[in-house]
Chain A
Amino acid sequence: MIPRFTYVRATSLDEAMTQLSSDGARVHAGGSDLLGCLRDEVFECGKVVSIAGLTELKGITRTQEGGVRIGALTKVAEVAGNPLVQELYPGLSQAASEVASPQLRNQGTIGGNICQKPRCWYYRGEFHCLRKGGNTCYALAGESQYHCILGGHGCYIVHPSDTAPAFLAFDAVVHIAGPRGRRTVPIDAFYVAPRDNAQRETVLEANEIVTELILPQPASGQRSSYRKVRARGAWDFALAGVALALRLDGDRVDGGRVVLSGAAPVPWRSQETERVIAGRRIDAALAAEAAEAAVSNATPLKRNGYKIPLFKGVIEEELLKIAQA
């Protein structure tokens, strides 16, 4: 059961940031990830700062540039069901609808979803692992069924978010508020790889808050999708997933992004795949070649070798599907 904490109900963003500036304070948006971490005692937290009442951080609107702004406190379910998102960014809508369970989509916010803590069972469990300040990543020699095959370095988590790969595919921009003002970070640069720092997942400082995500106007001919393979039908993170946002002329790829989930400690842009498909028509042979390229640099751990054929299979399938869409 959760240890004691002081609860702060912030009524303004400024107040929230002030409250977050004290040691051991954590932000509570939907609460679903935070309370899970507190129950598992993943980190100490003396103060919970709830920003759930900040209505200015909610909602989905069109930007003047023809893109879409999604407030960080917008529920994942609202992102999944929003007509604007469904029309312009179907891959994001699909990703959001695949998150966790219906109730958690009703509770979890989109800001919280992209800022989730890892789901690694060593990190969440009673193991003093590298990411929690220890000396070792237990997955390296241990039960690595759900760990990374790309981008691991000291720590071998996978990033748990379904929506983050979609945002990355769409080249979204993260807006952040902090005590020293506001800043924007392209989502490419939002996540921190373990090679750079194995104790943090994002560039957010403890007293910073994601306020909104901005999606650029879709390029003409853009098609998108998100596909997730998981161990059971619901309530599960990706064993392997792929977010596509491609500009297509018929079945010829003019450009765009291929982003993997369940592959790496951060949402993983597969530039190897992108290079293979750029300027070419997607057919069975190309799809297989592109899928092969995606895992060409992969280094599986003891128990996750299956991710190689699985990623190949899911990428091949999704490329063929989007070419025929």
Chain B
Amino acid sequence: MRSEPDRPYWVEGEPPETPQQQVQQEPWGETKVVGKPHARVDGYERVSGSAVYPADITLPRMLYGAILRSPHPHATVTGVDTSAAEQMPGVHAVISAFTPDDEATRPHSEFIRSQLFNPTCRYEGEAVAAVAADDPYVAHDALRAIDVEYEVHPFVADERKALEPGAPLVYERGNLGREPRTYERGDVARGFAEADVVLEEEYRCECEIHTPMEAHGCVAKWDGDSLTVWESTQGVYNVQTGVAAALGMPLSKVRIIGHYMGGGFGAKLQAGKYTTAAALLAKKTARPIKITLTREETYLAVGNRPPANMRLKAGVKRDGTITAFEFAGSGTGGAYGTGGASSLDWVVRDLYLCPNVKTELTDIYINAGPSRPFRAPGHPQGAWALEQMMDALAAAIQMDPVELRLKNIPSVSQGREGAPPYTTTGLSQCLEDGSTAFRWRETKQQIERAGNGGHIRRGVGVAAGLWSGGAGGPPCTVIIKVFSDGSINLNMGASDIGTGTKTIMAMVAAEELGVAPEAIQIEHADTGTTQYASASGGSKTVPTESPTVRAAAIDVKRQLLALAADELEVAVSDLTLSDGKVVNTTDPSQEVEISRLRSLQRRRSITGIGYRAPNPADKATCPFAAHFCEVEVNTRTGEVKIVRFLGAHDSGRVMNRLTYQNQVFGGITMGIGYGMTERRILDVDQTGKMVNKNWHDYKLATALDVPADMTCVPIDVADDEANIAGCKGIGEPATIPTAPAVANAIHHATGVRVANTPIDPSMLVQAIATAREGD
């Protein structure tokens, strides 16, 4: 039984299996291409406006779809009158749970009634009907003309009150998602007894919404009985599975294409109801359909990071030895799913050496939009609690907070069954190199010596983290094809969600095949034409795809060199590839251009296949991080200026220095938003509706909320035991320690501990005022 963090939430079904690889695969030593800063291979498309995103697609005779959604958080749809909408000029089809069976929807009518347009709406934004029209304006006119009868029910929108007696029920069986999950090692009572200091604190993180820049959407088109969908997605194969299941179709007849997409962060790992609706409307009208959700819909219906309520008790000895952690966390995945508290406790279980740990997680249903995985599920929340607690413990024993963390570095993954060793851990180095580069001790001393007399106060903060995923793994297949002219084609199913996957894979293939990355043509993210890949999410794309691409390159190289060895009449082991040529390493004057190989000419092309090898048994592979920041706080107004930020990361081998840094800065930026400005606000006491479902009222960090002074310190040590590319993921760890690092800096500056996100001026000015009253 695999423990939760190793069960990748983005892969369903049987445990993955890897076919045997034909060639012995050794780790890389020095690399020529990999690890260097390399501009993206698709940069031109991204800056010229020529990259085609699903929202950009226009097909001949295409219509536009739109979805009517429940305005109530809890209601039963008792009737839908679509007659007025259907008669509007420019409207071509309207479907709902009350649509009479017809040819287009008959095979799926049961599904439509029970699933697509569920008459029981358990959250604001549940789909009720869909229309197809000449343009999106007319489609929305039609939505306004649909008359829906709702039987409105009492709702519960605050998970902190959902388990109280008498609370309205999301489900008849109750609002508890499942029995609370517990974890225990050692004996926490003994641990607290051994401690010199025991602290206990409650923390809360608000619900965060993904809101990628491109709203969810797709274009659906039928060719006879086969369906093609251009989808804004992180994983075409996931969408294929979802759509095929929804429509009762064979996988082979459902083709999903997802080349460019405008961000996902976990919200685009699956097919949407809109995808099914688009397919049905396309069938009914016999025309292609484009549906792009409105921004407001993306706030309500396509995922969020659940709010988290956490209590953490911790014990420490004067010498910095942590003796016990006791953690209780609750959260809500909204009206569906049971992911409301997933992985909240993981960093408490795993980040620091601690023999006695007890945790409990509770999932609660409320009448709100379902959660979806969001960049390191549970981890930023858990780190918000743990890393502020570490700071408080350090202060209580008068130890530097970096020092306290360094005293408690584990070499094994204590949270996993059997406590397997990490393949590598760079946590110490993240803290050490990070604090050196940040000038942590000097800055801290300088601030403390100067004193904090005025109302503008400075402070520094540190926080660490690890991501329980980030190892990648099977299944994954990649094909590399060398044409008769020596040019190379790389075929993989993975999406490039903006992390630079295509560029890194071109670099990997180029490294192995002795060509420039630009020489690698990439076909990707198309279930019809490219090989299987799990979705791009969970910081697992690079550690999954890179070794697979390398394996495919090794395979094609083996075949090429074997052909060349025959033609040159030398031993294969003496040959290598360089600059598009086969070169004899014992006699460099003996070389032949790949395109001149006669056997390649005869075959026209050679194909290498790579499979992702299994991860090492009985080991854990995780990326680690430490973040440092300096802030300036106006104690009169609660305004916080983040002066500078530094992220030190161990994600194994750095694959592309340029995109690696971009990931780190991007994670920090998102973490600043999480800690400082973002929260879903539901009208909990009156209507249960979300009041800030737009980018003005729900506040993402802008260019004026992040420091220009950001530093990326890579701990560039290849994890050769993890996989043959030596890499671990970087996307999720980059955002895990950010928010608590800021909170700790604010505490250093003001002496005020803010245990709830977001620390905007309204929160901080109140906290400072309250603290003053207490003085």
- What 0/1 pattern do residues 328 to 353 of B give for CB contact below 8 A with A? 00000000000000000000000000
The reply to whether B762 and A231 contact each other, CB–CB distance below 8 Å, is yes
With contacts A232-B701, A306-B765, A312-B636 known, what are 10 further pairs, Cβ within 8 A?
A4-B137, A127-B689, A138-B687, A142-B686, A232-B676, A232-B700, A233-B702, A235-B702, A305-B766, A310-B761
Question: Taking CB as reference atom, which chain A residue is nearest B761?
Answer: A229
With an 8 A cutoff between CB atoms, is B638 at the interface? yes
Bound Cα distance A305, B773 (Å): 15
The reply to whether A145 and B689 contact each other, CB–CB distance below 8 Å, is no
A143 and B683 contact, Cβ closer than 8 Å, known pairs A235-B702, A310-B638, A317-B455: yes
The reply to whether A309 and B766 contact each other, CB–CB distance below 8 Å, is yes
**Which residues in A have their C-beta under 8 angstroms from that of B136?**
1
Ordered by A's residue number, 5 sampled pairs between the chains whose C-beta atoms are within 8 Å are A4-B137, A127-B687, A138-B683, A239-B762, A305-B766
**Which residues in A have their C-beta under 8 angstroms from that of B137?**
1-2, 4
With an 8 A cutoff between CB atoms, is B241 at the interface? no
Closest 8 CB pairs of A and B: A233-B704, A313-B636, A309-B769, A306-B766, A1-B140, A121-B691, A231-B760, A234-B702
Q: Which of B144, B455, B691 contacts A143 (CB 8 A)?
A: B691
Question: Taking CB as reference atom, which chain A residue is nearest B706?
Answer: A233
With an 8 A cutoff between CB atoms, is B637 at the interface? yes
With an 8 A cutoff between CB atoms, is A314 at the interface? yes
The reply to whether B691 and A232 contact each other, CB–CB distance below 8 Å, is no
Bound Cα distance A138, B683 (Å): 9
With an 8 A cutoff between CB atoms, is A191 at the interface? no
- What 0/1 pattern do residues 144 to 164 of A give for CB contact below 8 A with B? 010000000000000000000
**Which residues in B have their C-beta under 8 angstroms from that of A141?**
685-686
Q: Which of B682, B705, B762 has the most CB of A within 10 A?
A: B762
**Which residues in A have their C-beta under 8 angstroms from that of B699?**
231-232, 236
**Which residues in B have their C-beta under 8 angstroms from that of A231?**
677, 699, 760-762
The reply to whether A233 and B692 contact each other, CB–CB distance below 8 Å, is no
B interface residues (Cβ-Cβ under 8 A, vs A): 71, 136-137, 139-141, 144, 294, 455, 634-639, 676-677, 681-687, 689, 691-692, 696-697, 699-705, 760-763, 765-766, 768-769
Q: Which of A239, A240, A309, A316 has the most CB of B within 10 A?
A: A309
The reply to whether A3 and B144 contact each other, CB–CB distance below 8 Å, is yes
Question: Taking CB as reference atom, which chain B residue is nearest A317?
Answer: B636
The reply to whether A310 and B762 contact each other, CB–CB distance below 8 Å, is yes
Bound Cα distance A305, B701 (Å): 24
**Which residues in A have their C-beta under 8 angstroms from that of B677?**
231-232
**Which residues in B have their C-beta under 8 angstroms from that of A306?**
638, 761-763, 765-766, 769
**Which residues in B have their C-beta under 8 angstroms from that of A122?**
691
Shortest C-beta distance, B695 to chain A (Å), equals 8
Question: Taking CB as reference atom, which chain B residue is nearest A101?
Answer: B702
- Interface of A, secondary structure class, is loop
Shortest C-beta distance, B480 to chain A (Å), equals 45
Bound Cα distance A256, B98 (Å): 66
**Which residues in B have their C-beta under 8 angstroms from that of A230?**
761
A232 and B762 contact, Cβ closer than 8 Å, known pairs A1-B136, A127-B687, A313-B637: no
With an 8 A cutoff between CB atoms, is A125 at the interface? yes
A138 and B768 contact, Cβ closer than 8 Å, known pairs A239-B761, A306-B763: no
The reply to whether B636 and A316 contact each other, CB–CB distance below 8 Å, is yes
**Which residues in B have their C-beta under 8 angstroms from that of A314?**
636-637
Considering the complex, which residues of chain A in the window 259-298 have a beta carbon less than 8 Å from any beta carbon of chain B? none
The reply to whether A310 and B637 contact each other, CB–CB distance below 8 Å, is yes
- Interface of B, secondary structure class, is loop
**Which residues in B have their C-beta under 8 angstroms from that of A309?**
765-766, 768-769
The reply to whether B636 and A233 contact each other, CB–CB distance below 8 Å, is no
Shortest C-beta distance, A289 to chain B (Å), equals 15
With an 8 A cutoff between CB atoms, is A126 at the interface? yes
Bound Cα distance A141, B685 (Å): 7
Shortest C-beta distance, B485 to chain A (Å), equals 49
Bound Cα distance A308, B766 (Å): 9
- What 0/1 pattern do residues 1 to 29 of A give for CB contact below 8 A with B? 11110000000000000000000000000
Q: Which of A127, A235, A304 contacts B696 (CB 8 A)?
A: A235
Shortest C-beta distance, A292 to chain B (Å), equals 13
**Which residues in A have their C-beta under 8 angstroms from that of B704?**
232-234
Bound Cα distance A309, B764 (Å): 10
**Which residues in B have their C-beta under 8 angstroms from that of A236?**
696, 699
Bound Cα distance A278, B702 (Å): 40
**Which residues in A have their C-beta under 8 angstroms from that of B638?**
229, 306, 310, 313
Q: Which of A2, A307, A310 has the most CB of B within 10 A?
A: A310
Considering the complex, which residues of chain A in the window 44-81 have a beta carbon less than 8 Å from any beta carbon of chain B? none
Shortest C-beta distance, A206 to chain B (Å), equals 24
**Which residues in A have their C-beta under 8 angstroms from that of B681?**
121, 143, 145
Question: Taking CB as reference atom, which chain A residue is nearest B760?
Answer: A231
A233 and B637 contact, Cβ closer than 8 Å, known pairs A1-B136, A309-B769, A310-B765: no
Q: Which of A4, A312, A313 has the most CB of B within 10 A?
A: A313
Bound Cα distance A230, B705 (Å): 11
Shortest C-beta distance, B65 to chain A (Å), equals 13
Shortest C-beta distance, A7 to chain B (Å), equals 14
Considering the complex, which residues of chain A in the window 104-153 have a beta carbon less than 8 Å from any beta carbon of chain B? 119, 121-122, 125-127, 138, 141-143, 145
**Which residues in A have their C-beta under 8 angstroms from that of B703?**
233-234
Shortest C-beta distance, A123 to chain B (Å), equals 11
The reply to whether A121 and B685 contact each other, CB–CB distance below 8 Å, is no
Bound Cα distance A305, B637 (Å): 13
The reply to whether A317 and B140 contact each other, CB–CB distance below 8 Å, is no
Bound Cα distance A14, B616 (Å): 80
The reply to whether A232 and B702 contact each other, CB–CB distance below 8 Å, is yes
**Which residues in B have their C-beta under 8 angstroms from that of A305?**
766
Shortest C-beta distance, A322 to chain B (Å), equals 15
Bound Cα distance A3, B139 (Å): 11
The reply to whether B685 and A142 contact each other, CB–CB distance below 8 Å, is yes
Shortest C-beta distance, B456 to chain A (Å), equals 10
**Which residues in B have their C-beta under 8 angstroms from that of A235?**
696, 702
**Which residues in A have their C-beta under 8 angstroms from that of B683?**
138, 142-143
Shortest C-beta distance, B389 to chain A (Å), equals 25
**Which residues in A have their C-beta under 8 angstroms from that of B685?**
141-142
**Which residues in B have their C-beta under 8 angstroms from that of A233?**
701-705
**Which residues in B have their C-beta under 8 angstroms from that of A308?**
769
Question: Taking CB as reference atom, which chain A residue is nearest B294?
Answer: A1
**Which residues in A have their C-beta under 8 angstroms from that of B636?**
312-314, 316-317
Q: Which of A143, A232, A234, A236 has the most CB of B within 10 A?
A: A232
Bound Cα distance A236, B294 (Å): 21
Shortest C-beta distance, A231 to chain B (Å), equals 4
Bound Cα distance A239, B455 (Å): 19
Bound Cα distance A310, B677 (Å): 17
The reply to whether B766 and A317 contact each other, CB–CB distance below 8 Å, is no
Bound Cα distance A306, B769 (Å): 9
Question: Taking CB as reference atom, which chain B residue is nearest A138?
Answer: B686
Shortest C-beta distance, B689 to chain A (Å), equals 7
Bound Cα distance A308, B772 (Å): 14
Bound Cα distance A125, B761 (Å): 25
Bound Cα distance A117, B442 (Å): 51
Shortest C-beta distance, B145 to chain A (Å), equals 11
Shortest C-beta distance, A240 to chain B (Å), equals 8
**Which residues in B have their C-beta under 8 angstroms from that of A1?**
136-137, 139-140, 294
Q: Which of A138, A233, A240 has the most CB of B within 10 A?
A: A233
**Which residues in B have their C-beta under 8 angstroms from that of A239?**
761-762
Bound Cα distance A310, B765 (Å): 6
The reply to whether A229 and B637 contact each other, CB–CB distance below 8 Å, is yes
Bound Cα distance A239, B697 (Å): 12
**Which residues in A have their C-beta under 8 angstroms from that of B696?**
119, 235-236
Bound Cα distance A272, B85 (Å): 57
The reply to whether A232 and B760 contact each other, CB–CB distance below 8 Å, is yes
The reply to whether A126 and B141 contact each other, CB–CB distance below 8 Å, is no
Bound Cα distance A145, B676 (Å): 15
Shortest C-beta distance, A67 to chain B (Å), equals 32
Q: Which of B144, B637, B682 has the most CB of A within 10 A?
A: B637
The reply to whether B761 and A126 contact each other, CB–CB distance below 8 Å, is no
